[in-house]
């Protein structure tokens, strides 16, 4: 399980590097350039999915209660101490944003995508840090 999670964390770091490079673009760039917008949306989607996949692996490993929604994946990680509770509460809505990216193509708010890119990547990075700490504690 640890190797699988580490592999997912490496992919997540790669996606975050790509997304950080897109931060230099303006909201207008994102509105005008459908290729750029598609790339940002896709990398946000796979970044959040990576977090959810990691969460599901840990939940299974810990034999915690089975999540019924993606949001619950994050909430359960808070309950079992992988994530601090306040951070889990703050980060859980990312699952809903992922659902919008995946299922509501025509209704995706470009401004919301831009704001997520500019303001919320740090939450994905914090998620990765908390998971890495969890894995270190397993090794001890």
Domains of the chain plus CATH, in order, are 2-139 (1.20.120.580)
15: its two tokens:
């996606």
Per the rule left: phi > 0, alpha: psi between -120 and 50, beta: everything else, 81 is: left
Q: Is the pLDDT at 1 greater than 70, yes or no?
A: yes
Cα–Cα distance for residue pair 132/66, rounded to 1 Å: 22
Tens-place pLDDT, residues 4-17: 999 999 999 999 99
User: Is residue 30 within 8 Å of residue 114, measured between CB atoms?
Assistant: yes
Average pLDDT over residues 21-40: 96
User: Is residue 125 within 8 Å of residue 16, measured between CB atoms?
Assistant: yes
- Percentage of the chain lying above the pLDDT 70 cut: 98
* Count of residues in the chain: 140
Closest C-alpha among 123, 64, 63, 130 to residue 98: 123
Q: Is the pLDDT at 76 greater than 70, yes or no?
A: yes
Q: Is the pLDDT at 140 greater than 70, yes or no?
A: no
Q: How distant is the alpha carbon of residue 69 from its chain centre?
A: 15
Tens-place pLDDT, residues 107-129: 789 999 999 999 999 999 999 99
Q: In sequence order, what are the residues at sequence separation of 6 or more whose Cβ sits closer than 8 angstroms to the Cβ of residue 120?
A: 94
Q: How distant is the alpha carbon of residue 138 from its chain centre?
A: 22
Specify the pLDDT at position 104.
Answer: 74
Q: Is the pLDDT at 25 greater than 70, yes or no?
A: yes
7: its two tokens:
């592999």
Tens-place pLDDT, residues 77-111: 999 999 999 999 999 999 989 988 988 766 789 99
Q: pTM for the whole thing?
A: 0.93
Specify the pLDDT at position 81.
Answer: 96
Average pLDDT over residues 63-79: 96
């Amino acid at each position: 399980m640890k190797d699988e999670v580490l592999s997912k964390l490496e992919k997540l770091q790669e996606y975050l590097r790509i997304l950080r490079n897109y931060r230099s673009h303006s909201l207008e760039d994102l509105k005008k350039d459908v290729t750029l917008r598609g790339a940002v949306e896709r990398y946000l989607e796979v970044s959040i999915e990576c977090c959810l996949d990691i969460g599901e692996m840990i939940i299974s490993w810990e034999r915690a209660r089975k999540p019924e929604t993606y949001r619950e994946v994050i909430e359960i990680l808070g309950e079992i101490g992988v994530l601090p509770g306040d951070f889990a509460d703050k980060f859980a809505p990312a699952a809903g944003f992922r659902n919008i990216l995946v299922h509501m193509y025509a209704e995706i708010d470009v401004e919301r995508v831009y704001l997520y890119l500019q303001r919320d990547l740090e939450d994905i990075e914090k998620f990765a840090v908390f998971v890495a700490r969890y894995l270190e504690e397993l090794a001890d």
